[in-house]
Amino acid sequence: MAIVKTEDAERLMKRCQTGVGGRNALDTAHDIMAECYGTIGALVQERDRLLHGEFICQRCGLRKDSERSTEHEF
């Protein structure tokens, strides 16, 4: 299971906005596109797990990866 960190997604968004140039522009653009597909895929998987309630406590609504602790088990 891949988890997308906010800073990684923001870095990728900046790379997309900046664009590429120079001798290896096509290769660099291809690398960015591949990274985008991977990031989007990971985000879709996480969204689907959240929609199915896999990572949300049914008692308190807290995400399992939350930094807050609970008195009960998930």
Q: What is the pLDDT of residues 19-43, one digit of tens each?
A: 888 999 999 999 999 999 999 999 9
Q: Evaluate whether residue 61 is within a structural domain.
A: yes
Q: Evaluate whether residue 29 is within a structural domain.
A: no
Q: Evaluate whether residue 73 is within a structural domain.
A: no
Q: Evaluate whether residue 2 is within a structural domain.
A: no
Collapse the DSSP code of 71 into the 3-class scheme (helix H, G, I; strand E, B; otherwise coil) and give the result.
coil
Mean residue pLDDT across the chain: 84
Q: Evaluate whether residue 44 is within a structural domain.
A: yes
Say how many domains are in the chain: 1
pTM: 0.65
User: Looking at residue 74, what is its pLDDT?
Assistant: 56
User: Looking at residue 17, what is its pLDDT?
Assistant: 87
CB 72 within 8 A of CB 59: yes
CA distance 53 to 2: 17
- The percent of residues above 90 in pLDDT, for the chain, comes to 39
